[in-house]
Amino acid sequence: MALQRIALISDVHGNLSALEAVLADIGQRGIERIFNLGDYVGKGPRGSAVVDLCRERCEVNILGNWDDFLPDPERTFDSEGLQWWKNELREDQWAWLRALPFSYDFLLSGRRVRLFHASASSVHRRVRFDHDEQEFLGLFENTEATGDGPVPTVVGYGDTHDAFYEVDLGRTLFNTGSVGNSMSDPTPVYVILEGVPDSLDDASFSIQFVRVPYDARAELEVARALRMPELNGYEAEILHGVYRGDLYADEAPTYHRRSLTAVQPV
C-alpha cells in the first residue's frame, strides 16, 4: 500500500490566526487527514470560531483539559478571563467539547499509535519533557480512560506546549507542541505522521515537526478589539513564548519545571 500522511495539531487555544496559517500549510502539502489532540479554547480570543473550524476540518477530535473544565455548565469562575472565554462559546459548543473522546488508537506501518491530550490517565495530569522513566512508561499503559486493547508502541500527545521526540525501551513518544500558544519558540508547530495506514506489516514510518509563521500581532489586535481580559499575558505568550504565570514572578521561569504536573491549566 502507498504511504499516507496525517497532520496532528493540538492546543490551538482560541488563536484563529495561527490555526488558519497551519491549516493552509497542511493544505499546501496535500494532506487531507487532520487529527486534533485537544485544547481548542481558552487563552485566546476566538475559541468559538476555532471549534467550528476544527469540527469542519478535523477527521479526529480529542478532549483537552480546557475543553473539559471551561465549558462545564454547572461551573462559574471568579477569574474574569475564564468566564470571558467560557461565555465566548455557544452552549452547543460546550456540549460538543465535553463529549469528545479521551483518546484515539490506530495502526500505521505496523505500529500501534495512540493519541491523547495530556496523559494516559487524565486530561488534567501533565507529563513534561523532563519526565522520569515511570512517567514515560505510564504513557503507554492501558487505563480506565483509554480502555482495554493492544498497548501502543507509539504515543503522541499535546498539553505542555513543548514539542519533543523520544525513543526508548522499544517505544516512541512525541509531543505535538502547540498551534496557538507555543512556549519558548512562539511559532506554531504541528506534526506530520507518514506511513501505511491500517497495516500490521512493518513499513516506512516517519514523524516530522513543522513550524509555520503567522501574524501574531494581528491576532493580538483582535483580542484587544474584543476587549479580552489578560492581554498582557496573551502578548507575552504569543509574541515571546513566555508563560503568563512567569511574567511577574520574582524567581526563575517555572513553566518547564516538572513540579507543575497536574497543578494548573496551560
Are 75 and 89 in contact by the 8 Å Cβ rule? The answer is no
User: What pLDDT is attached to residue 70?
Assistant: 98
Residue 149 has pLDDT above 70, yes or no: yes
Which cell is 205 given? 514510518
Are 168 and 150 in contact by the 8 Å Cβ rule? The answer is no
CA distance 177 to 255: 14
Nearest to residue 224, comparing CAs of 242, 239, 212?
239
Domain positions in the chain are 4-260
> Predicted confidence band at 263 (pLDDT cuts at 50, 70, 90)?
very low
CA distance 140 to 112: 11
pLDDT in tens, 185-225: 999 999 999 999 999 999 999 999 999 999 999 999 999 99
> Predicted confidence band at 248 (pLDDT cuts at 50, 70, 90)?
low
CB atoms near residue 62 (< 10 Å): 24
Q: What is the mean pLDDT of residues 18-46?
A: 98
Rg of the chain taking only CA atoms, in angstroms: 18
Q: What is the mean pLDDT of residues 66-89?
A: 96
Q: What is the mean pLDDT of residues 49-58?
A: 98
pLDDT in tens, 83-135: 999 999 999 999 999 999 999 999 999 999 999 999 999 999 999 888 788 88
> Predicted confidence band at 245 (pLDDT cuts at 50, 70, 90)?
confident
Mean pLDDT across the chain, nearest whole number? 93
Residues 6+ apart with CB under 8 A from 92: none
> Predicted confidence band at 257 (pLDDT cuts at 50, 70, 90)?
low
Are 96 and 230 in contact by the 8 Å Cβ rule? The answer is no
pLDDT in tens, 172-183: 999 999 999 999
Q: Taking the domain 4-260, which CATH number applies?
A: 3.60.21.10
User: What pLDDT is attached to residue 249?
Assistant: 57
Residue 262 has pLDDT above 50, yes or no: no
Residues 6+ apart with CB under 8 A from 191: 7, 8, 156, 163, 174, 176, 177, 207, 208, 209, 210
Helices (H), 45-187: 47-57, 65-69, 80-87, 91-98, 133-138
pLDDT greater at residue 94 or residue 169 = 94
CA distance 254 to 47: 26
Q: How far apart are the first and last CA of the chain?
A: 40
CA distance 23 to 216: 16
